[in-house]
Structure 1
Amino acid sequence: MSNNVLIITGMHRSGTSLLSQWLYRCGLHIGDRFLGAGIGNTQGHFEDVDFYNYHQQVLSEHDLRKDGLVTAQPPSLSEAQRQSLRLLIREKAASQVQWGWKDPRTCLFLPFYRELLPGARYLVILRDYKSVVSSLIQRLYGESVQKYEQKGWLPRMIWRYFKQPYRKQRLLRKHSEHHLKVWISYNEAILQHLQQLPSSTYLVIDHSFLIRCNRKVFDHLSAEWKFHLEYHNLSALYKESLISERLDITPYIKDPSLLQKAADIQCRLQTLAI
């Protein structure tokens, strides 16, 4: 394929929205219609609705959660699903010389994109597993707050005085281990994907250093990958106030081997980061 394609890749709550917003400001076409803002993403997700809808539909057809918080990769795509993806890619390529997209669910479909877009570049953002799981829990908590604040005065009082003080602990107990497994599944898929690509076709960024290295990322996209962009300082978009408090998830992980596995995957990806 003759056009320049950038696939922005990373686990949910890893900074893909910030990265995509920045690239959009720099002039990269990442979609005609974006998913709107939501809890935990008040500035918008910057997700191409077409890829978002495609991924959700395929997950649903395989009886998997549409939000993509799954611990296994989808089975092989059916011929109809492959054809739909080919058509989607063809439509995007027909309208833009350089383009890309972001949807964390992309991590679940990397083998198919590797096959259908052999010349694509991959911009991967890695965020540590403890922060990601904590952020997912904080988002669930935010959904609870929003739900109860929309109710009548009596349910609101019950929430504020009897349920709210214990909700985060309940969510940690219920969801921490599953979300850690999801982090492992996504980042293991990314690692396996990168191992099958030439090193010149991907760039891994550690979330912790994103603000400091954004100029280096921009220069790589421009000089090495030949994307025609205009530099905007990422720090102008970064809002530290939007970063949620990091909760301690460790006591809620029943299987300690999962913590070790996540740490190993994280370490291996960090060795690939710029």
Structure 2
Amino acid sequence: MSLPTGLPPVVMDRVGLMDPMPEICVVLGMHKSGTTLVSEILHHSGIRMVEDDSAETYDLGNHFEREDTNRLNKRLLDCGEAPSIRVVDRLDLAGVTPDLRVAAQALVEAAGARDPAWGFKDPRTCLTYDFWKAVLPEHRLVCVFRDVREVHAHYLKRRRYAPLRGLHVLRAWEAYNRCMLDAYTAAPSHRRILVDYARLMRDDVELARLGAFVGRNLVDRRIAGLRRNAPVETARLRCEAWLHKRSTGRDAMALDREIRTLAEIEAAGFVRG
């Protein structure tokens, strides 16, 4: 499906002014925040996000992550197969060895030689982006945000009674989104976009905005039945957010409000033209 018709004129005008230059797209965002959907949309719209097309959808096991960038991120972070919510420390560039830089350069050159329009998505890239920023040529940064209340609820669905799981989720959400926000803030405004997952799932303007940003008519890979209800701030979340702030000095709920506000401002500016 192409971009929807019937959008406000300014939206369609911006889609018509797409930049045709092929280039790299880096998708940032925490696990379970919509990065797989965004990567899938980009891949099916002509930006190669994975090496292998054999798995068609997330439900069939394809998280739309390149295996080579995934492996290199794990080497950079020395995290092996540790659960994502336990991998929260930003990469220390001082500890990166020359062989890892050589491997990254070779990866980038090989991917670009195969497809001028390519990209990659791995939530761990939030923690390693400073490394990739120095290795990659000019690229577009696609930052995907999902409300902390939704992410917290998602991780607790199956392990509701695990006493520390909620705190681990909040710690990870804060770490990944803080790194993502730092990358977004440092990037030139014309080379970055902040995509709100909830808005992407409920209306077509967010999809059109992403299409205008990457310069393509996007193939819509959203599934209508998966559109989410409004997030709920539970008593457990409030309690765990307070404990997280007290133990770390970092306020996950304030960060959530900050990023949500930025996303709203960016989206409103697009519609206004």
Is structure 2 residue 142 aligned with structure 1 residue 123? yes
Which residue does the alignment assign to 1:264? 254
CA distance in 1: counterparts of 2:116 and 2:64, whole angstroms: 20
1:199 counterpart letter in structure 2:
S
Pairwise CA RMSD: 3.1
Moved over 6 A (4+): 34-38
Q: 1:98 is matched with which residue?
A: 117
Q: How does 1:41-52 map to 2 (within 5 A)?
A: 41-43=58-60, 44-52=62-70
2:175 paired with 1:185: yes
Question: Partners in 2 of 1:92 and 1:53 — Cα distance?
Answer: 15
C-alpha contact 2:241 2:252 (8 A) present in aligned 1: no
1:232 corresponds to 2:249: no
Quick one: distance in 1 between partners of 2:134 and 2:146?
26
Deviations 1:221-253 (A, max 9, x none): 44x543xx4432344x3442899x979442455
Tell me which residue corresponds to 1:11.
30
Distance in 1, matches of 2:233 and 2:206, equals 31
Amino acid at match of 1:187: N
- For structure 1, list consecutive stretches of 5 or more residues without a partner in the other structure: 142-166
Q: TM-score, normalised by structure 2?
A: 0.74
Residues 6 and 120 of structure 1 are in contact (CA less than 8 Å); yes or no, is this contact kept in structure 2? yes
Contact 1:10 1:124 in 2 (8 A): yes
1:168 aligns to 2:171 (yes or no): no
Aligned length: 235
* Residues 1:225 and 1:28: Cα distance change in structure 2 (over 3 Å): closer
Going from structure 1 to structure 2, the CA distance change for 1:187 and 1:35 (only over 3 Å counts) comes to: farther
1:59 matched to 2:77? The reply is yes
- In structure 2, what is the Cα distance between the partners aligned to 1:198 and 1:247? 34
Contact 1:177 1:254 in 2 (8 A): no
Unaligned runs of 5+ in 2: 1-20, 268-273
Distance 1:66 1:75, change over 3 A: farther
- Aligned-pair identity in percent equals 22
Q: Taking structure 1 as the reference length, what is the TM-score of the superposition?
A: 0.74
Distance 1:192 1:74 in 2: 14
2:243 aligned residue: 255
Partner of 1:210: 200
Q: Which residue of 2 aligns with 1:79?
A: 98
SS at match of 2:120: strand
Distance 1:262 1:99 in 2: 33
Counterpart amino acid of residue 101 in structure 1: F
How far the C-alpha of 1:256 sits from its partner, in A, is 5.4
Deviates more, 1:174-183 or 1:247-256: 247-256
The match for 1:109 is 128
TM-superposed deviation, 1:37: 9.4
Assess if the C-alpha contact under 8 Å between 1:56 and 1:67 holds in 2.
Answer: no
- Going from structure 1 to structure 2, the CA distance change for 1:230 and 1:132 (only over 3 Å counts) comes to same
1 CA distance for matches of 2:240 and 2:254? 19
Distance (whole Å) between structure 1 residues aligned to residue 126 and residue 99 of structure 2: 20
1:160-189 deviation line (CA, Å, top 9, x unaligned): xxxxxxx522x2x12110110111011110
Cα distance between partner residues in 1 of 2:27 and 2:185:
17
Please state how far the C-alpha of 1:99 moved relative to its aligned partner. Answer: 0.8
Find the structure with the greater CA-based Rg.
Answer: 1
Distance in 2 separating the partners of 1:210 and 1:56: 29
Cα separation, 2, equivalents of 1:194 and 1:231: 22
